[in-house]
Every structure is written in C-alpha cells, then in structure tokens.
Structure 1
Amino acid sequence: METVCNKGECTACKACIEKCPVSCISVKDRLSLFEAVIDKNKCIECNLCHNVCPSINHNGLLAPKVWKQGWSQDDTIRSKASSGGIATSIALDFLEDGGIVYACIFKNSKFCFDRLRTEEDILSMQGSKYVKSDPEKIYSRVLSHLNENEKVLFIGLPCQVQAVKNFVGQKNLESLYTIDLICHGSPSPKMLEKFLLECDINFETVNNISFRNKMTFGLSIENREVEPILLLDSYMMTFLSGISYTENCFKCKFAQIARPGDITIGDSWGSELCIDEQKKGISLILCQTTKGIELIKKSRICIMDVDLEKAILSNHQLQHPTIKPKRYDIFWDGVEKGRSFKQLIFRCYPKTAIKNLLKRIKIRVL
C-alpha cells in the first residue's frame, strides 16, 4: 500500500484528494492515525498530491513580526469565545469589508469547513473544537474565489492553512488571508462518536456541542454537561493528556514559533493581566505578515503588549509538538480490544480515575 506521506504523518487535510486529477486517493481513518492511500492502478504519477501535502511541503513558515494579546470590543463575542474572540471579530470585519470567509463549524453532526456568509454564520464558528475537522472539498471553492479576484479569509489549524496555501499556489496568495490556530493535537471524530455512544448519545442527533467554557474544560451536549461540573469527563481526560491524539500530532511540522498563517491566534496563557481579565478571555495574537498586521488594524479589537517569551513558555506548541504519552500504546491496544473510555482511563491513569470515582460518589451523596 502506497501513501502520499510517511506513515503516521497524514494530517487528514484531504487536499491531496481534491488535487488528484484522476481521483485515485482516499483518506482512511484508522483511529490512531490517518492514511492518504494511493490507488496505484489509477495513479499517473503527476506528484500533485505530494506537492500539496502540508506534511511534505511546509516551506515559507515565518516568524512573527508583531506579538500582542487582546480581545473583541464586543462583550458578547468575547463572552462566548473560548478565549478573547479575536478570530470572530476579524472575520466579521472582513465580511463587512466585502471579503469571503471560510472556517470550521459544527453542521449536520460534523465538524466541517464552509463559507460563512452572515454574522450568524461567523458567530457559529466560536468555541474550541477538540476533534479533527474535515476540510474536504473546500480548497477548490477557495481557489475559485481567488481566480475571480475576490479576497478570502481562511481560518483553520496550521496544517490546514498550509494545505490551502499549497493548493491555491503562489500566484494566488496575495488575495488569500490566513489565520492559523495554536493546536496541541486532536483525535479522530470516531473517538468522539465512540465516547458519546457510551453515554447513550447518538452523535447524529446532536445539534449543539461544546468542549470548553473559558478556563473550564468539559464536554457539553445541547448545553448540558456530560459530567457534573466538578468532574472531568473521560473524553476530555484523554484529550488533555494527549493520549487520544492521532500519530501525526506528535510529529507536527508546525509546532514552532515560525507559522504558516498571516496571523496566529491562541490563548494568552501566562498573561500578566489581572485574573478578572483572564477569566473573561484573552487571546494571544502573532502577526507574521503585513497582511496580518493590516487585518489587526482594521478590526474592532482591544490589543496590548505581551511578553513573547512568557507566551511561548505557556504555549508549548510554539516550541515543539505534544510529547507522546508513555501509555499511548496501552491506550490504543485497549481501543482495539473494544474497551470503554472509563476502562481505558482506569488502565492508563488509575490514580486519576479513582479520584474521579470518589468525587462522583461524594456528589451523589450530597
């Protein structure tokens, strides 16, 4: 079996599927890793798939020229965002200025990319998404707008930003504006589906899902926590530990200070601003290009200085990829054997599991 990139390095960006002129590539979800598989009986060896792959081609990463922290001037946007609502404010202003916006939303029980045409659409993209999103069939749509001399803003993970830049080509980059999000890693969506099924929740019926409320992590379905507020659910335990990530996340080419986007946005962890401000949400903002600086200047956001060294220390993805947990193989061996999330937690993190069990008993008694 031949794959586009090395085993364990596929990011599931699916740009290779769209670029292939003979439709000979399919991306397989193996739970612990993705593989972009080439059908050699159809392949004409044009190498377009290799050229567009972000794991193979990630040249042109840039160190930030400007670094700031801040939040949206709109209190409602800030309150509903995971951090400061900067990406939402930039997208709204870009849309009002006649530009076209593409980003990830939760639609039809799927985390997918789409064109955001209205303010309501853009507001729907808010919130952290701790699962792999699907950009399939989005690249050609972005390219068609650029070919019509329209300005496009693409917001995604760094691997997805690199993929769209590779796909549209150098000559179209002038009208393409990009924001990459600081990412620690992500699991296959099948893992989220597995967890919800164990909670007697049919993923296909879910209309609203949330992974985080500011500084509090926990899965909520239809605005109701899966676990009581004092407990961390098993899905989030595996996510925060990194043990449920796919293999490529531990080899991420973009976990460094040099970035693929015009702007990089994440949480301003380690901020020296007062705790009340931190609770409201503060975004870290890195600008790598003059286009990025232009977007910041045009947007209705509050910005202030940030200590870049402290920001990097508080966001390890600006230094190196997430380190693979020691019990990673044990976890995936259990997944293959059909063990539940709770069983996997007990097997991999017994002390944490026992503490959680005692908390659950205490909550029930009270």
Structure 2
Amino acid sequence: MIDKVTAEQCALCGSCRNACPVDAISFDKKHLDFRYPRIDTDRCIGCNRCEKVCPVLKPVSGSAEGFPIAYVARNRDDGIRRISTSGGLFHALASRVLAEGGCICGAVLDGQFRARHIVSDSPDDLRRMMGSKYAQSDMGLCYREIRDRLTEGRTVLFSGCPCQVAGLRAYLGREYPQLILVELICHGIPSAEMLQAYISMREKQYGAKLCRLEFRNKDKGWHRSSVRMEFGNGKVYHVPITEDAYMNGFLNSYMLKPCCYDCHFRNFSAGCDLALGDFWGIETMPTWHDDNIGTSAVLVNTEKGKAILEQLPLDKQPCLLEEIIRFNRNLVCSALPHPQREAFYACAEAKGYEAAIRQFLEYSAAHRARSRLRYRVRCLWYAIRGKEKPFY
C-alpha cells in the first residue's frame, strides 16, 4: 500500500487517490497541517495500484538528450502581462489550446481561498488559473478527468509544480501526443491551512471578510510585486512581498511541505514539455529591454515543447541555462529549511498559527523601513546608470 511512503517523502501529488479503483484513499491525514493520503483499510482490495503510480516509488523519465533549451520571453500583450505573475506565457499557451478546442488544467482559488486544480474548456477559468497561488493545491480527481479528455482525443494543457507533473505522468502510464505538460519553477509549497490562518489573521486586523487576494500584484511594477488583499468593508492591505508575513514564511522556507527540502523532482526530472517562471536577473542582460511589466524564464524540455513555443506570438530570445539557474536555484537545488522552522511549528502547535505568524513571520516597522530605503537607493542607482526600472 501507499503507506510505504513517509510524510517526509510524499509529494502530495494525488496520483494514488486518482488511481485507486475503489476510492479507498482520501487526503485528510494531517502532518504539520499538510493533508496526506489515508487508506480506508476496510475498502482497500490490496491491488497495489497506488504504489504503481507513485512517482516517488516509481520515478518517471526526465529530460531527453539536448534539453533543456533556455529562453527569455514575454507575451506581446502588455495588458495580459500586467495581470500575470511574470511574462504571461501561460496565458499564451492556454489561449491557443482553448482556441483549438482543447482543455486546460491548473490551480484556482475557490470561494474560501483554497487552491484546487480544475479541468476546464472555459476562457473564464483561464483567468482564474493565472497568477501564483503559493499554497498546497487539492488535486481532487483531475488526473482521471485529464485521462478521459485524452481518450476522447482532445488536447489537454496541464500546469503544475514538478511533483504534480510527475504524478500525472505516473498515473497515465504512457505518453499522449496531445498532452502538453507545463512545470512551474518551484521553490516549494506551503500548506492550505497556513494560508487560511494567515487570511483569518488579516480579516481580524481589517474587521471584514476577505473578498479578493493577489499574491503578485503589479500595480507598483513586476520588480516591486505586492500582496494585495481586498476586504468586504472596502479596506485594502497592499504591501511588497518583501514586507509580507506570509511571503516571508514562503520565501525563507519556514513552512514548506517536508518533501520540498529534499525534492525528488528537481533537475527537470519530472518530464515536462516546458518549464516557466520569473526571469529574475533580467536587468543584467544587455540585449533585453526590461520594462518592469514581467519577463518569463522558459525552459524547453522536449521536441513537443520546442514546436509549441515556436507557434506562440511571443517576444523571445535564447539565453544560457546558467542565466536562469543563477536566480532560480530551486531548479537544481532543494530549498533549505529556515533555522527556526522547528521553533515556528512548535509555537504553532502550542499557541496556534496566528501566534506563530506574528512571532516569527511578521516584519517589524524597522525592517519595512529598511526595505523601502533599499528600494529607493536602487531606484537612484538605476537613474544614475540610465536604466528605467529598479529591481529588488
């Protein structure tokens, strides 16, 4: 049974649940507030299908010879880029798939601000899938839905973290020419419960229910991405990600799922067609104009991915793989746990997550002042150098 995989190894990809022929697996066993698979032993028939589709127990193949190929790219529609996390590449891909009668699968936030993957052929759902979610996504039974759409002969675009791409490939057990796999450059995944605790804390602070959440708002530019929360009473919380408590916990690796600290799916081993992320460090490339709206790092991992990228209406140019890895170390290295991670969880267990967030993650006024001063100094540096926009 799938319980051979420990909590420190399990990627929470959901392939076991989707593969179980008697639906004996649910994700409701908690460890550090992450939801792990639990087997109903009364229903289990011992077929071991869950083990056969586990990408941890049965690793899938990775990059082919000659790949990955690196590019810097962006959507030609500035309006799309402004509402995208980085350069609007996912929108370009998904729009093409939908226009050709295909389906898309990605993470959305539901009415309770919980992330979950859905399969859809609606442009309205494309808008919901755009933007980073920074929380564990409930995969549900979307792998089954994808298999059904593929069996019908429809094109499917799947977007997820490397472990989710590997989980889907392991579940399907074969290659489909009309399946497009997009991997997001991943730092790690916080728990859904952590996000709920953070939202509850802000709702108490602002005296109303949360109505809208953006983790990477670009009102102040891509290089000054902000967390923006709109509440029912009209109040707005809007601070740079470098000053936000939740993003502190994420970026400094306090609260990632245990397997993220020893990721099995780095080094392009999940077998995606394309990998997408922010092209941090773009200001160091003299041949690319950084307009501070958003630029994507693109890694082509298969011939299929190469052909797809060539068909998209993008501004792009090849670059060195090392130029992307330099500012996206999690492509090749696992995240390192914060030295106070255990103390953070001990506090959370004793006093609750809101108390732990306030004690360990909430930035002081002095830190926020220093952050803004550094930003202004860099603005001045850019002005002196004749560049247009600052970076962090």
**Is TM (by shorter chain) over 0.5?**
yes
Partner of 1:303: 316
> Which letter maps to 2:247?
M
Deviation of the 1:20 alpha carbon: 0.9
Partner of 1:200: 203
1:134 aligned counterpart, secondary structure: coil
Q: Give unmatched runs, 5+ long, in structure 2.
A: 372-392
Partner of 1:21: 21
1:208 aligned counterpart, secondary structure: strand
Contact 1:79–1:281 under 8 Å retained in 2: yes
Partner of 1:150: 154
Contact 2:53–2:170 under 8 Å retained in 1: yes
Distance 1:291 1:231 in 2: 37
Partner of 1:268: 279
**TM-score, length of structure 2 as denominator length:** 0.82
In the TM superposition, what are the counterparts of 1:1-366 in structure 2 within 5 Å? 3=3, 5-27=5-27, 28-62=29-63, 64-109=67-112, 110-170=114-174, 172-200=175-203, 206-213=210-217, 214-222=222-230, 225-226=236-237, 228=239, 232-271=243-282, 272-273=284-285, 277=290, 279-341=292-354, 343-344=356-357, 346=359, 348=360, 353=364, 355-356=366-367
Contact 2:348–2:356 under 8 Å retained in 1: no
How many residues are aligned here?
357
Deviation of the 1:25 alpha carbon: 1.7
Deviation of the 1:222 alpha carbon: 2.8
Deviation of the 1:341 alpha carbon: 4.2
Contact 2:87–2:296 under 8 Å retained in 1: yes
Distance 2:368 2:224 in 1: 19
1:264 aligned counterpart, secondary structure: strand
2:276 aligned counterpart, secondary structure: strand
> Which letter maps to 2:135?
V
1:93-147 CA distance string (max 9 Å, x none): 1211222211111222231112232333212221111111111111111001111
Q: Over aligned residue pairs, what C-alpha RMSD do you find?
A: 2.9
2:297 aligned counterpart, secondary structure: strand
2:315 aligned counterpart, secondary structure: strand
Change over 3 Å in CA distance of 1:4–1:298 after alignment to 2: farther
Contact 1:154–1:178 under 8 Å retained in 2: yes
> Which letter maps to 1:280?
I
Distance 1:163 1:324 in 2: 24
Change over 3 Å in CA distance of 1:227–1:120 after alignment to 2: closer
Q: Give unmatched runs, 5+ long, in structure 1.
A: 361-366
Change over 3 Å in CA distance of 1:244–1:286 after alignment to 2: same
2:326 aligned counterpart, secondary structure: helix
Q: Percent identity?
A: 26
Contact 1:14–1:135 under 8 Å retained in 2: yes
1:215 aligned counterpart, secondary structure: helix
Deviation of the 1:61 alpha carbon: 1.1
Distance 2:294 2:225 in 1: 14
With 6-15 and 191-200 compared, the bigger mean Cα shift is at 6-15
Distance 1:132 1:226 in 2: 23
Deviation of the 1:245 alpha carbon: 1.0
**TM-score, length of structure 1 as denominator length:** 0.88
Deviation of the 1:310 alpha carbon: 2.1
Change over 3 Å in CA distance of 1:293–1:335 after alignment to 2: same
Change over 3 Å in CA distance of 1:342–1:16 after alignment to 2: same
Change over 3 Å in CA distance of 1:197–1:37 after alignment to 2: same
Deviation of the 1:10 alpha carbon: 2.0
